[in-house]
Every structure is written in structure tokens, then in C-alpha cells.
Chain A
Amino acid sequence: MNDTLLDIKDLEVQYVVDGEITRAVNGINLKLKKGEVLGLVGETGAGKTTTALAIMGLIPNPPGKVTKGNINFTNSENMKIDICNVNNKALLDIRGSKISMIFQDPMTSLNPVMSIGDQIKEGVEIHQPEVNAKERAKEMLELVGIPKERFNEYPHQFSGGMKQRIIIAIALACTPELLIADEPTTALDVTIQAQVLDMMKDLKIKFNTAMLMITHDLGVIAKTCDNVAIMYAGEIIEYGTLRDVYKNTQHPYTMGLFNSIPSIDKVEKRLKPIKGLTPDATNLPSGCKFHPRCEFAREACREIAPKEYNLNETHYTKCLKVEGCNEYKESRVIDDE
């Protein structure tokens, strides 16, 4: 028995707009076990959402295309599917029933002219026609803390936090094995964030759902995840357990991320943000993609693309400095040109 639920191998996704290639995801490898919560962190434009859409088989085509790699999904009935290479019919069957997704903005993710009850019902009607969809929908509503009497109300009658809970109810109505949460709390204020996260955690345990938590909020990750993957310019540059990444941070970019948030027990006059901007995905730098912004960058970083370097069984990073290879040691520090 294999308890790997999702196995992404060397995934590459590109968007072609007006002949210009945007390299959104560049060869990522990810494994997700059953019931595991993986956090995917990165700046805007790092390819987090594209990865999520690829797992759903929802990359808009055109302009997007999975150019390389595969996404193997194994469910509890040991059905193996490569999401990148199946027909549309099979994808429709998986979406919503095996893999669900929660979208970023609860305000726009609900159909304004359909009652919320009907919207929760929809997925059940599609995937589990034998179940009494109305009863299930009411159960789900109660589960996310909304009285079932409000079944027939419309989205505009709910607050943002409640809408997000309704969306979670929709996503979990068919008890999927994998839940992709694309910045589920970004649009909510902090107190509601905590509520929603707590609830997701409870439900995750109740249904034993694996979760891919996409966010740029390191606090959210610390609160919910088992493992963390840090994404930069379409690559995973550091991966490990929560402890590995938070206590034993290796990659300069990850350090930069931690330096840009205020710490409660350190007195700091100024935060140290990472200088520069995320690289343009149509024109990625050579070698290590982070080198133009990295304070430790040397000339070797321009030429050699770092490989995954394992620090221990669970923790790897992509950095020449951490790797400590000779090329890095021998090359000069980049002078500002």
C-alpha cells in the first residue's frame, strides 16, 4: 500500500501570449501524502495558482499549456490517474468529487443569482446522484456554522467570512481526498481568518482530507501546515517540514521572507525587505533565478542552475551556497555593474 495521494513530477506550465512565452511553472516536484497539509508559499507571480490549476486540470488552454511532466493522482480505491494526460470526461469526474478547490475571493466565487443551498447541492448532484443532495447540503451548512434555515438565501445576504465558509462547504460536500485552498483567507480580515482556518483544520481532521494550502502569509502556514514548499519564479527553492523550514531556514530567499515580517520578540527599527522585484516570467534570469536579488550571489550563480540539495530526509533546497560546491567557493562576488 502506497499512501502517496498526489505526485507531481517535473511539471512545466507555459502561457503563450502573442508569441511571447511566459514560463509560469518550471519543473516542480511535489509529493503529497494522504491527510497531509502542504503549504505552498511565494510572492505574487511565483506560479502558485498555476500549479493549483494544473492539479485541477483547469489551465486555460489557450493560452496555457502543460509542456512537460505529469501529475499522478492516486485515490483511496487505488485508481491511478495522470491529470495531464486524461480526457475531459475523466477530469470532470475528478473535479469536485476527488479534488476540490477553494478560491481566493469569496465575494466573487459564488453565483449571485443561485441560492447558496442550490450551490452546495450542485456538486453532490453531479457526482453522487444516489445521495439526497438537499440533506447533504444542509448538513454541510451546519458543519461550517451556518444555520440550515438559511439554505434558500442568496450570496448577497451573507458576510465575507460566511461566504468563505459556504465555499468551503461546497468544496467539501463530496468529501474530496484533496482540497486545494488558493489563498483562502487573503480577502478576509484577521479575526475572520482565524475562524476560517480553525474550521478548515477541524474539517480536515473530520474528513481526513489532504490539503494544499496556497498563501503568501507565513503565519497561516505556521498555523495549519505539516510541510512547506517555498516557490520562486516557478520553482520550488526550499522544501521541508514546518520545523525544517522555519527553524533551519537555508535558502537566502526564504530568509528574506522571514526578515520581511516583524518578529514579536526582536526589537527592530526597520524590516529588511528583499530588494528588487519578482523576475518577469517571460524573461527569467539564467542560472539561479534568484541571483539578481540575492545578497550572497556570486558569478557561479549566473551560470549554474542549482539542483535539489538534500539537507536531511525531509528538507531540501536549491542553492549553490548551501550546497557549498566548489564552483561557488571559487567564483567572485558579483560587482554591481
Chain B
Amino acid sequence: MIKKDKKDATSKTYRGPWAELWHRLKKNRLSMLSLFILAGFMVISIISFIAVETSIGQKIFEGTVFDYQNVVGQNLKRTLEMPSSDHLLGTDSFGRDTLARLVYGARISITIGLSSVFTSVLIGGSIGALVGYVGGRVDNIIMRMMDVFLAIPSILLAIAIVSSLGSALPFLILAIAIPSIPGFARITRAAVMTIREQEFIEAANAIGASNIRIVLKHIIPNSMAPLIIQSTLSIAGAILSTAGLSFIGLGVKPPMSEWGNMLSEGKNFITTDPFFSLITGLTIVVVILSLNILGDGLRDALDPKLKN
């Protein structure tokens, strides 16, 4: 029997793959800043949800920027004001508080951004994993269908879906999710096909693991990295698409606020009162930039070649 080599057993700290990812991401300050900003927006959205949708929340947040009355309540005496103590970011052309409208808009954007990406990861990922593992004719047929989707410009596809189904929230989510499904399917398929040929899959076969078990426990965890990166980058795209749809009047309808329809409103007086458009545009830029930086940071953290 071999002597036990205990020498490094106790001194070494070991982490699981997630802890390891977090540890490496922490070293990247810009990514952490982005994460912080995004977390801030998340918190604001959640509070906004509580303040608008629950009766207790309505009482607690009455009169604050989270109050729905501030989002839609017009005051035509005080239109297009610059920042002041009662309107921290000024007002729009109907005299509504810009901050309140941005906060409410954050909630819409983040809800749509997250849930549409979640939907497309789920659908696209499953399709990709399936065809990547099964291969052969199934792969060919399904991937050609995906190619057809890829041939249609995503914003056109989204416009077509929204104009035929209507612009209720679930349809908006669907409209933004569907065009990005083929992308996720391709990425997952490529990852799965590489992993499938690895020897440890054969080894898993050799201990009698069933196909479902192999896909769920061995293949999917190993093909997560590209999916995670693509998701963060896709959320940014989804938020932009939402804003784009609202900008052209197909997304969230006034008087509800959304960043896209706020920008659309602002363009009418951009030459005389640019502040309103500027602050709205900046909010979008900050969120999108943070998401992209976080995505980059995650890619670096997940890249085994850049270890340590």
C-alpha cells in the first residue's frame, strides 16, 4: 500500500467552482464596481415593485420617489424644470418627477431584461444541449431552423411579434427572448459537442450512468462558462431592445414610464431642454456599460488560461 501523502492536505484551501469564480472576479475592481451599480439598480427595482404593487408598500412609500402617483401624476405648472430640492433630477414635459419615472422604468427594464434572457437561456440552452448530445439528423434539422431565425434581424422579429400579439409585458418578454434563442442554442451546442467527446464522458458511461444523468451532471456543468458570459451580455442587449421598442412606440405605453419611451418623449424638446434626455440616456448608458464590463470580467474569471 502506498504511503499517504498528507503533507498538503490540511494547509491548502480549496474552493468549489463557484467560489473560485467569485474569488477571481473579486480581484477585478471595475467588474466589482459594475456589479455594485447593478445591485443598486436591482434593489431600487425591488423596492419600486413593493411600493407600487403591495398595499403595505403603498402606505410606506407614499410621497417618495417610489410612489406611483409621482410616476404618473402630472403638474403642468412645473414642466421641464432643472434639478431642485423637491425634484432631484428635474421634471419632464408634463411636470412629472424624472427620478420617480427613471426608478419605475428601471423596474420594467430589469424585469424584461432578466426574464427574457432567462427564457432564451432556458429554451436555447435546452435545444442546444439536446442537439449537441444527440447529433445526427435531429441536430441538422433543428439547427437549420435556428439558422432561419438568425437570418431575420432581431429587432424586426421583435417588432413583428409585438405588433401581432400586443405589447403586454409577457409578450414583450417573448418578443425580446425569441430572437436570441438561436444564439444560445448555437453556443450551448458547440460547448456540448466539445465536452461530449471528452474521455470523462466515456468514463461516466463506463460506470453505468444513464444518458440523462450524463447530460445533467457532466455535460451541462462543464458547458456553463460560455452561457454565463453570453447571458450577461444578452441582458444588456435585451434592455436596449426594450428601450428601442418603447422608443418607437411599440413597447411600454405611456403614462407608464420606461427608459425608451422617456427618451422618445425627450427628443421632442432636446434642442431647448437637453437635460431631461441627457439624464435618461446616461442611466441607460451606465446600466449597459456595467453589464458589459461585468460580462467581460466574468469571461476573464472563467477563462482557465488566465488562472491566478
Contact = CB atoms under 8 A, between A and B. Distances in A.
Contact of B218 (A114, A142, A167): A114
Contacts of B12: 153, 157
Interface residues of B, number: 29
A165 B181 CA distance: 43
B139 to A, nearest CB: 14
B17 interface: yes
A110 to B, nearest CB: 6
A109 B199 CA distance: 5
B222 A149 contact: no
A96 B199 contact: no
B206 A96 contact: yes
B210 to A, nearest CB: 6
A111 B1 contact: no
Interface string B255-299: 000000000000000000000000000000000000000000000
B205 A58 contact: yes
A103 B14 CA distance: 26
A126 B198 contact: no
Contact of A122 (B2, B14, B199, B209): B209
Contact of A152 (B10, B14, B198): B14
A129 to B, nearest CB: 13
Interface in A86-129: 91-97, 100-101, 103-105, 108-115, 122-123, 126-127
Contacts of A112: 200, 222
Given A113-B222, A154-B14, A95 B206 contact: yes
Instruction: Categorize the interface residue count of chain A.
Output: 35 or more
B17 A154 contact: yes
Question: B-side binding surface: helix, strand, loop or mixed?
Answer: loop
Interface string B1-42: 111111001101010110000000000000000000000000
A199 B206 contact: no
A122 B206 CA distance: 12
Interface in A190-236: 195, 198-199, 202
Nearest to A92: B208
A123 B207 contact: yes
A153 B206 contact: no
A185 to B, nearest CB: 14
A150 interface: yes
B208 A114 contact: no
Given A111-B222, A145-B1, A199-B2, A95 B205 contact: yes
Contacts of B10: 149
Contacts of A146: 4-5
Contact of B208 (A94, A144, A147, A152): A94
A22 to B, nearest CB: 19
Interface in B196-251: 198-200, 202-210, 213, 217-218, 221-222
A111 B204 contact: yes
Contacts of A162: 5
A109 B207 contact: no
A114 B4 contact: no
A71 interface: no
B9 A108 contact: no
Contacts of B1: 145, 199, 202
Nearest to A112: B222
Given A149-B10, A157-B12, 17 more contacts: A58-B202, A91-B208, A92-B210, A94-B208, A96-B207, A103-B206, A109-B203, A111-B218, A122-B207, A123-B207, A126-B209, A145-B1, A146-B4, A147-B6, A154-B17, A174-B207, A195-B2
13 contacts: A92-B210, A108-B199, A109-B202, A114-B217, A126-B209, A126-B213, A145-B1, A145-B5, A153-B14, A157-B14, A165-B2, A170-B203, A199-B1
Interface of B: 1-6, 9-10, 12, 14, 16-17, 198-200, 202-210, 213, 217-218, 221-222
